[in-house]
Homo-oligomer: A and B are copies of this chain.
Amino acid sequence: MDRPTGLRPTVAVLGVGPGDAPSEIGAAAELAELRFTSDRDELPSVLPGADVLFTWGPGNGWVAGGWGSVDRLRWIQSASDGVDRLLFPELVHSDVVVTNARGVFEGPIAEWVLGAILAFETGLRTSILDTAAGTWNDERTRGSVAGRHLLVVGPGPIGRSTATLARAFGMSVSAVGRAARPDPVFGDVLGPDDLHDALAVADHVLNALPLAGGTERYFDADVFTAMRTGACFYNVGRGATVDQDALTDALERGQLGGAALDVFEDEPLPRAAPLWSLPNVIVSPHVCGDVDGWREAVVDIFVDNLSRFVRGAPLRNLVDTSAGFGVG
């Protein structure tokens, strides 16, 4: 990337109105001209002359359509971890650098996954529902988390954070990734050829796949059928990596013992979706990582990267745009 040292770059903030941004954005205004828009129709006037985009929520999905108005763009900071809505071929093949929000969400998401595992195993999910119903049922026992096996599919930062917590409970952990490789957290990441063997011994299966590189409907009927009967499934990545009908069927058949889902093919999950009423399903409305202060934390990453950008230093949280997810 050329050094813009001495220049005062122009940043288009997409998906957030100026009054809606956390006050921490003020530090960015000292380094750059900021143009906010929460209206995609304004892109033809906002994008020309922008050196940088800072894309929030729906704003990630606007860049492809506005690409014709881009003339001097060099860097896009996404406020999300997953950049599937942002990337498109022209961007991937361009020299524009993309960075994401790594560091903000993975710890909270890992907490949520452990919370869901514990809700199923310890009977807390039942107790929460029984409390609402006024039901005292002490004729039940519960599972143990200690000794269970967790399989992480998609061993990125979320999977690593989850694995570390799971081990503290005495769970064993394995991981399947794009290719077999050594990993500092998992020891060894297994390759795709080992998926079915790994599924057969897992009590809990975490889907932390990005939507990238052919992961669409990765969790299909064959994958669910390969799971141990009664295993629980967790999705914190993207809804499109799961064949939702196959998931529903696996739950209805009792192949799966439970599922905690934060993402869905269509969001909000349509009211008619069977997932709402199946036993042992937890529907979470794509908020599992939305920890108090996440917006401020994302702005802090952006401001830090912006200060690096203006002094020509390497940016944090680089995304491998050809792979479709964060580096490292």
A285 and B138 in contact, given A128-B119, A129-B128, A168-B165 (Cβ under 8 angstroms): yes
Q: How many copies does the complex hold?
A: 2
Which residues of chain B come closer than 8 Å to A283, judged between CB atoms? 127, 130-131, 136
Asked whether A114 is an interface residue with its Cβ less than 8 Å from the other chain, the reply is: yes
- CB neighbours (8 Å) of A144 from chain B are 107-108, 111, 291-292
Report, nearest first, the 4 A-B pairs whose CB atoms are least far apart. A115-B118, A168-B168, A138-B285, A136-B268
User: Which of A136, A271, A288 has the most chain B CB atoms inside 10 A of its CB?
Assistant: A136
Interface, chain A (partner B; CB < 8 A):
107-108, 111-112, 114-116, 118-119, 121-125, 127-132, 134, 136-138, 140-146, 164-165, 168-170, 260, 268-269, 271, 276-277, 281-288, 290-292, 294
Q: List 11 A-B contacts (CB under 8 A).
A: A107-B144, A108-B144, A112-B123, A114-B118, A115-B124, A128-B128, A128-B129, A141-B292, A142-B288, A142-B292, A144-B291
B128 touches A282 (CB 8 A): yes
A141 / chain B contacts, CB cutoff of 8 Å: 287, 290-292, 294
Chain B min CB distance to A186 (Å): 17
Question: How many angstroms from the CA of A165 to the CA of B118 in the assembled complex?
Answer: 12
- Other than the given A124-B260, A127-B285, A130-B283, 9 more pairs (CB < 8 A) read A107-B144, A111-B118, A115-B119, A122-B288, A124-B282, A127-B282, A128-B129, A129-B129, A141-B292
Complex Cα spacing A152 to B118, Å: 20
